Amino acid sequence: MTGILKIAFKLLVNDRGKFAALIVGITFAVFLMVQLSSLFAGILSKASATIINIGAKVWVMDPAVNNPLNSIQLPDYILDAVRSIDGVKYAVPLYSGTALVKLRDGIYQPASVLGLDDASLVGRPQMIEGNIDDIFADNGFIVVKDEEFPKLENPAIGTTFEINDHRGVVVGIARVTTSGLFGIPTLYTTFTRAIQYIPSTRFTIAYILVEPKSPADVPYIKDEVAKAGYLALTNAEFQQRVAAYYKYQTGVGTNILIMTTISFLVGLSICAQTFYTFVLENMDKFGALKAIGAKGYELVYMILFQALFTGVTGYGLGVGLSSVMIALAKRRVPNYAAMITYFNLGLALLMVLVIVAFSSYIAVRKVIKIEPFDIFRG
């Protein structure tokens, strides 16, 4: 069997033109599939930035909420009701809103404002400069240093600005796990200051952050919140809800799915046609092998080996090229959203295996019908 595979390898690489066309076709298809699926994964991650950065175990919200930016304010009594549920260790409010920040030069910049519970500061970011306790100082705000940080003119501790005619002072600079999707900076302050500085509706609580006493208490907490007419989701469930919104209720998921499918079909057509042509041009060699005693299954193994070797090589080159392009793009464009995940790599590998299987099937059907008499007679 080893000798047969060596012959298959030599047949494949000796025809450099066809071999190069196969490699380029699969590499290009994998590059596009990984690039597009990674872009979608990055979009979903940034869309869930608030959920990831706050990191609450359970989120209580209005059932109509499907996007962290479109929060629906909760009545104050819901906070007391949640705190009274057995199994709740503590529950705190979170303010989430958007405000226009007037910078020192008079330019207005939209910013996302998160108001943390005054007593506990649950969901606070990791500090780079300053002390988290300074958030309680007069007009204190903490600025997140991410890709959008320069839009606030790279503020330092002590920098002042205005929000709705209220003075704000940068008392700290922090980092978070994930930056937001829509290209606006993020500010943290206390819950009380947020509702004082930013115009709000009658109710001011965007979400209630719940810490259960144990994971076993989560189902009961969710049932009790549902009885009150509201929704409780774990961190992972909330992220899945946001992902479903962008997949099925916006054009983002549909458009990227269509482009990924087109990339797959392009790779499939190029590789199937090229591989079939390669087999046709080597029919005399397969016929000679059969004439000297090669079994039909050995010829099938040759075809499968050639297709699999080409597919794996193209897959590796495509993933490598996509990784390099994403890394370079992130260096040049800081808010570039693409993110390679194991799911992206697995999806691309599955599609490559489908391409390999389809190409092999077409070639195998031709090879197993070879009659040595027809080859030598020609």
Instruction: Tell me the per-residue pLDDT of 173-215, one tens digit each, with 9 for 90 and over.
Output: 999 988 877 788 999 999 999 999 988 888 889 999 999 999 9
What whole-number distance in Å separates Cα of residue 69 and Cα of residue 48? 9
For the segment 35-59, the average pLDDT, to the nearest whole number, is: 88
Name, of 20-29, 140-149, 267-276, 344-353, the range with top average pLDDT: 140-149
Instruction: Tell me the per-residue pLDDT of 276-288, one tens digit each, with 9 for 90 and over.
Output: 777 777 777 777 7
The predicted structure's pLDDT at residue 156 = 92
| pLDDT grade for 375, boundaries at 50, 70 and 90 | low
The predicted structure's pLDDT at residue 159 = 92
The DSSP result for 252-315, as a single string, is HHHHHHHHHHHHHHHHHHHHHHHHHHHHHHTHHHHHHHHHTT--HHHHHHHHHHHHHHHHHHHH
Distance of alpha carbon 230 from the chain centroid: 28
The predicted structure's pLDDT at residue 191 = 94
The predicted structure's pLDDT at residue 132 = 92
Q: Per-domain residue ranges for the chain? A: 2-46+251-377, 75-229
Residue 122 has pLDDT above 80, yes or no: yes
The predicted structure's pLDDT at residue 105 = 86
Q: Are 74 and 65 in contact (CB under 8 A)?
A: no
What whole-number distance in Å separates Cα of residue 93 and Cα of residue 194? 12
Structure tokens at 138: 């007069």
What whole-number distance in Å separates Cα of residue 300 and Cα of residue 309? 14
Is the four-CA dihedral 215, 217, 220, 223 of positive or negative sign?
A: negative
- In DSSP terms, 145 is beta-bridged to none
